[in-house]
């Protein structure tokens, strides 16, 4: 008998869904039978194309929404519930990684605040609203809902010249553990996926750099960076009944890279 990663009847909200890891996650969740809401900021044509590819607005809805404050996070969660009437899974995938190396002694307040706003403040609003909705709605089983936060290996070992990014990703790991302790007894499973290097638009400049690119790949035991679908797959798994006994886990998806420090 085939084993199915099925999400029929479920509604998922996936942030940053117009490209990269987010877009592949949207595709996988709709293929698994879920109805999906995802947000985009400026890539309207790309978002609408993905919406159409995944079944149209009755199955997959693109919502234009900035995410840099708690209020914006709550607004996006409300839009998802308004569209499909419930919320069973929240995948917090959006984030910024300023590609330019900046020593902490020269990092501007504006960069620090922007990175924390997008990568952390909005997450608070999203999680707060999602948990409130999950606790209100009917639960057909002991699991009322799933939350998956996307962190990074940088959140565990730090990243020189990108302290703002590493701080936010480390905070998401701490948030995962805190929320798991709080919410697991109430039927909400909270886990974290921590990718290493992934071939996306956000990392393209660095990975294509003739000096940095080869150095990065050499440090990965499998010899290459990940494709977005290789991150989306573990995210999907963590939102299925097969992961019903997993809570507070940080799942490293990094090609065997060893975490140090």
pLDDT, tens only, 163-201: 999 999 999 999 999 999 999 999 999 999 999 888 887
What does the pLDDT average to over 37-65?
97
Enumerate the domain spans of the chain.
11-200+227-253
Whether the CB-CB separation of 67 and 114 falls below 8 Å is answered with no
pLDDT at 51: 98
- Please identify every residue annotated as catalytic: 165
In terms of C-beta density within 10 A (0-12 exposed, 13-18 middle, 19 or more buried), how is residue 69 classed? middle
- What is the rounded average pLDDT for all residues in the chain? 93
Residue 97 region, left (φ>0) first, then alpha (ψ -120 to 50), else beta?
Answer: beta
What does the pLDDT average to over 99-105?
92
pLDDT at 184: 97
Confidence band, pLDDT 50/70/90 cuts, at residue 141: confident
Take residue 112 and report the two structure tokens written for it. Answer: 């620090």
Using CA atoms, how far apart are residues 77 and 55, in angstroms rounded to an integer? 21
Question: Per this entry, what is the length of the chain?
Answer: 261
CA distances from 230 to 24, 122, 198, 234 (A): 9, 25, 9, 7
Return the closest-CA partner of residue 239 out of 19, 95, 25: 25
Query: Is the pLDDT at 144 greater than 80, yes or no?
Result: yes
pTM exceeding the 0.75 threshold for the entire prediction: yes
Compute φ and ψ for 13, nearest 5 degrees.
Answer: -110, 120
Which CATH superfamily hosts domain 11-200+227-253? Answer: NAD(P)-binding Rossmann-like Domain (3.40.50.720)
Confidence band, pLDDT 50/70/90 cuts, at residue 261: very low
CA distances from 109 to 113, 147, 172, 183, 225 (A): 6, 31, 21, 34, 32
Number of H helices, E strands in the chain: 10, 7
Percent of the chain with pLDDT over 70: 98
Confidence band, pLDDT 50/70/90 cuts, at residue 1: low
Range name among 18-32, 102-116, 117-131, 140-154 with the lowest pLDDT average: 140-154
């Amino acid at each position: 008998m085939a084993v199915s990663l099925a999400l029929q009847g479920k509604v998922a909200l996936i942030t940053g869904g117009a490209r990269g890891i987010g877009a592949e996650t949207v595709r996988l969740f709709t293929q698994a039978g879920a109805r999906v809401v995802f947000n985009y900021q400026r890539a309207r044509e790309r978002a609408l194309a993905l919406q159409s590819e995944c079944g149209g607005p009755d199955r997959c809805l693109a919502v234009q929404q900035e995410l840099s404050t708690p209020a914006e996070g709550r607004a996006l969660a409300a839009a998802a519930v308004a569209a499909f009437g419930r919320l069973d899974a929240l995948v917090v995938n959006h984030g910024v990684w300023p590609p330019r190396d900046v020593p902490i002694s020269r990092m501007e307040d504006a960069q620090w605040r922007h990175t924390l706003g997008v990568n952390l403040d909005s997450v608070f609003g999203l999680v707060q609203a999602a948990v409130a909705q999950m606790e209100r709605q009917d639960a057909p089983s002991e699991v009322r809902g799933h939350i998956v936060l996307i962190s990074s290996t940088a959140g565990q070992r730090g990243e020189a010249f990108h302290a703002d990014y590493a701080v936010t990703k480390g905070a998401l790991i701490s948030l995962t553990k805190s929320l798991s302790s709080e919410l697991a007894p109430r039927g909400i499973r909270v886990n974290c996926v921590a990718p290493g290097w992934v071939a996306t638009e956000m990392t393209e400049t660095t990975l294509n750099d003739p000096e940095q690119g080869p150095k990065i790949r050499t440090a990965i035991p499998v010899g290459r960076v990940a494709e977005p679908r290789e991150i989306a797959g573990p995210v999907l798994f963590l939102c299925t009944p097969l992961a019903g006994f997993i809570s507070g886990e940080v799942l490293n998806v990094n090609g065997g890279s060893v975490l140090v420090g």
